[in-house]
Amino acid sequence: MKTTAKIAVIILTGLVWAVPAASQDKGGLVKKQNSLNSEYSLAKDSNFYFVLDFLGRKLELRVRGMVLRSWSFQSMRFWGRPELSGNVELVRKTALRAPERIVIKPGGNAEKVEGAPAPVAKPTGTDPAEFNLEALELKDMPKKFSFDFDNGLRILVKTKKAASGGPVGSMREAWGWYVDLPLRNLFGAPAGTGLSELELTFDNEKDAQSIYWHFFDGIKGIIL
Amino acid sequence: MFVKRILIAAVALAYLGFLAVLGAAYLVGLKQASAWPPAGAGRAIADKDLPKVEKNVQQLEKRMSGLLPKGLYIVIDTAENRLYVKNGKDVVRTAVVSCGSGVVLEESGGKQRKWVFDTPRGEFSIKSKINNPYWVKPDWAFIEEGESIPKGLEDRIEAGTLGDYALGFGQGFFIHGTLYTRLLGRNVTHGCVRVGDEDLKAIFKAVPIGAKIYIY
């Protein structure tokens, strides 16, 4: 009798576990189908596109289904309308200190946006990586910036270092995130213009800089 | 004294009002977050449709893998100044290169033309392979040096600058050698991709005409 009861308990437990697992599998399969459909519509053209995978905590640059670069983010937080997933297009990238190109006008006045003469190396040490070049390089890219997408989503990208701008910077950031954003969201919500803001923090500052480098206006992507 | 109390009461009221509004903002935020994902999203699938969805997923995966370039191809990261020769998902060779400087050159007089020295980004293919290439200096090369633009073609030709090999990928852009090997790994070029001698030789010998190049 006891054995029968034990078996019944085991079977019932199995059923309780199995039903949600099966439904999760189904959900996962449909999700996979949708994401593959979205990606195929982008990958069949020769253009670069990106995939932002929340659960996988990674952002990838791809072409033809092939991953060119992958960046893992350390943390993320979000405010506003959560309808993020789907196909998006980058409308604008904004940085407080956007990099500027060096303009050379031989015969005229060399300017620096405006710099000086042609890209000539000025050795400051023995390591070629230390040469100060008249060029736009990865190290000139901002470590904190935002992307605005056509569906109203704004993604703020930053590095841990860029985030800690001293006590004043931290206070300003906390005010922005915990007071300003909720209030803007509140007053925009009834009109349907509530914001949708996602913040991604990267450990490595080069990651943020290379994202700025590789993401150009008009790039399309998928948010999973 | 009375005025002071009124002022304190007004400040306290304003502060409480602010807290109330902020509280409402957080409630709205929570409500929005709890509404996601939308009910039934990704779950509405009947058992009888399951095989169909599975088949669809398999087909899509097959189509996706069919998009990958066949044989050897080149991938260039302009930010890191790295070139990868790949076969499928495997990296066959990695080389340190120099890509475009991003500098803008403006012609002061004459036609007041403008050049941006970026390495073009996108999908390309190798269109030509040249042994012992000569550089036919374009107008900007003279303007940059503050020299007058020559009329004859022979005055534009320069030997040795591009190394032993060049692989053209259209619009006047090449993967070629360099005399300035110390600057490999930095963004210094006028748009072409400069490669060290050994790597250039290996790439030139391995990668055929028509092979894809992805520059990002």
Average pLDDT of chain B, as a whole number: 91
- Termini Cα distance of chain A: 51
CATH superfamily of B72-215: L,D-transpeptidase catalytic domain-like (2.40.440.10)
Which domains can be identified in chain A, with CATH numbers? Answer: 30-97+139-223 (2.40.440.10), 100-135 (no CATH)
Instruction: Check: CB of residue B144 under 8 Å from CB of residue A104.
Output: yes
Hey, are the CB atoms on A30 and B102 less than 8 Å from each other? Answer: no
Q: State the ipTM, two decimals.
A: 0.86
- B26, B104, B105 ranked by CB distance to A182: nearest: B26
Listed by number, the residues of chain B in 69-128 with a beta carbon closer than 8 Å to a beta carbon of chain A are 69, 75, 77-80, 89, 101-109, 116-117, 121-123
- What is the pLDDT, as a whole number, of residue A117? 38
Mean pLDDT score, A81-100: 88
- B43, B104, B123 ranked by CB distance to A63: nearest: B123
- A39, A82, A133 ranked by CB distance to B32: nearest: A82
Average pLDDT of chain A, as a whole number: 81
- What is the pLDDT, as a whole number, of residue B24? 87
Residues B113-163: pLDDT tens digits? Answer: 999 999 999 999 999 999 999 999 999 999 998 888 999 999 999 999 999
Kind plus residue range of the DSSP H or E element containing B8: helix B2-34
Find chain B residues with C-beta within 8 A of A83's C-beta. 36
Mean pLDDT score, B162-167: 96
Find chain B residues with C-beta within 8 A of A189's C-beta. 28, 32
Listed by number, the residues of chain B in 137-196 with a beta carbon closer than 8 Å to a beta carbon of chain A are 143-146, 182-188
**Hey, of B104, B111, B181, which one would you mutate to test binding to chain A, going by the most A CBs within 10 A of its CB?**
B104
The percent of residues in chain A predicted with pLDDT above 70, rounded, is 73
Find chain B residues with C-beta within 8 A of A106's C-beta. 105, 108, 143-146
Find chain A residues with C-beta within 8 A of B121's C-beta. 48, 216
**Angle between the A181-188 and B2-34 helix axes, to the nearest 10 degrees?**
70
Find chain A residues with C-beta within 8 A of B61's C-beta. 36
**Hey, of B111, B188, B192, which one would you mutate to test binding to chain A, going by the most A CBs within 10 A of its CB?**
B188
Whether A120 has a pLDDT exceeding 60, the answer reads no
**Residue corresponding to tokens 């206070």:** A171
**Angle between the B50-66 and A2-43 helix axes, to the nearest 10 degrees?**
40
Q: Looking at the whole model, is its pTM more than 0.95?
A: no
CB contact burial B19-48 (16+ within 10 A = b; e otherwise): eeeeeebeebbeebeeeeeeeeebeebeee
- Phi-psi sector, A35: left (phi>0), alpha (psi -120 to 50), beta: alpha
Helix, strand or coil for residue A146? strand
Return d(Cα B93, Cα B111) in angstroms, integer.
43
Confirm or reject contact between B36 and chain A (CB < 8 A). yes
- Termini Cα distance of chain B: 71
Q: Tell me the backbone φ, ψ of residue A88, rounded to 5 degrees.
A: -135, 165
> Minimal Cα distance from A140: which residue of B?
B79
Give the strands of the sheet with B114-116, arranged side by side: A103-104, B104-106, B114-116
Confirm or reject contact between B46 and chain A (CB < 8 A). no
| CA angle B155–B159–B164, rounded 5-degree value | 155
Q: Which candidate, A141, A131, A70, places its Cα nearest to that of A100?
A: A141
Return d(Cα B198, Cα A177) in angstroms, integer.
52
Whether A139 has a pLDDT exceeding 80, the answer reads yes
Whether A113 has a pLDDT exceeding 60, the answer reads no
Establish whether the linkage from the previous residue to A167 is cis, with ω within 30° of 0. no
Confirm or reject contact between B63 and chain A (CB < 8 A). yes
Instruction: Rank A156-170, B14-28, B165-179 by mean pLDDT and report only the highest.
Output: B165-179
Higher pLDDT residue, A115 or A184? A184
Residue A193 banded pLDDT, cuts 50, 70, 90 = low
Residues B88-102: pLDDT tens digits? Answer: 989 999 999 999 999
Tell me how crowded residue B118 is: count the other CB atoms within 10 A of its CB: 19
Hey, are the CB atoms on B65 and A65 less than 8 Å from each other? Answer: yes
Whether A132 has a pLDDT exceeding 80, the answer reads no
Residues B43-93: pLDDT tens digits? Answer: 567 777 888 888 999 999 999 999 999 999 999 999 999 999 999 989 999
Residues B5-20: pLDDT tens digits? Answer: 999 999 999 999 999 9
Find chain B residues with C-beta within 8 A of A44's C-beta. 67
- What is the pLDDT, as a whole number, of residue A190? 63
Tell me, rounded to whole angstroms, the distance of Cα A116 from its chain centroid.
34
- B53, B103, B108 ranked by CB distance to A29: nearest: B53
B170: its two tokens:
């259209």
- What is the pLDDT, as a whole number, of residue A106? 84
Hey, are the CB atoms on A182 and B29 less than 8 Å from each other? Answer: yes
Torsion of CA A102, B195, A209, A39, to 10 degrees: 120
Mean pLDDT score, A68-77: 94
Find chain B residues with C-beta within 8 A of A60's C-beta. none
Return d(Cα A173, Cα A162) in angstroms, integer.
11
Hey, are the CB atoms on B45 and A214 less than 8 Å from each other? Answer: no
